[in-house]
Amino acid sequence: MLVTRQTDYAVRCVLYLARVRNQVSSVGEIAKQMQIPKSFLAKILQRLVREGIVESIRGMKGGFRLLKQASDITLLEVFVAMQGVAPVNSCAIDKRRCRMSATCSVHPVWLDIRKEVERRLGMQTILSLAETRRVSFDDLTKQEG
């Protein structure tokens, strides 16, 4: 399974919006804080709006915010919104894509891996991820000094 750059940026964006709670954030603000190219982020946000994860607020003080509570959004939901189901092998998505799925001894392994990936992504809420503070190398060096 490959997480695309677009999906990675979408996750960053949703995490940022979760951290600022109900605040409306501009594309420029999100792009700067999450180190995402602004033009690329605008397209990602459009997709997140279409998928019902983010809402767009129009007007002078417009921008974006989460449509649902961060506790109700999973990493799987963001992943699927951007990439579709998590493929390990195309036959794990649709067994009709391979004539050997019924007799292939590896097919069940691909299915199990796909199910496990989806289970793990589905367990991670955006709220729990947003509240997790990772210690950076800079933080560690500040503590030593």
Residues 59-67: contacts with CB under 8 Å, at least 24 apart: 61/24, 62/24, 62/26, 63/24, 63/25, 63/26, 63/27, 63/29, 64/17, 64/24, 64/25, 64/26, 64/27, 64/30, 65/17, 65/22, 65/23, 65/24, 65/25, 66/14, 66/17, 66/18, 66/22, 66/126
Per-residue pLDDT reduced to its tens digit, 44-68: 999 999 999 999 999 888 899 999 9
- The pLDDT, as a whole number, for residue 88 is 66
Residue 102: its pLDDT value, please?
A: 66
**pLDDT(89) > 70:** no
Q: Which residues pair with 66 in a beta bridge?
A: 54
Please name each of the domains of the chain with its CATH number: 5-85+125-134 (1.10.10.10)
Cα 26 from Cα 64, distance rounded (Å): 6
Give the pLDDT confidence score for residue 54 in this predicted structure: 97
For residues 16 and 53, the answer to whether their CB atoms sit within 8 Å is no
When mean pLDDT is compared across 14-23, 34-43, 94-103, 115-124, the lowest value belongs to: 94-103
- 62: alpha, beta or left, given left = phi > 0 and alpha = psi -120 to 50? beta
Residue 132's pLDDT band (cuts 50, 70, 90): confident
Mean pLDDT on 66-77: 95
Q: State mean pLDDT over 13-27.
A: 93
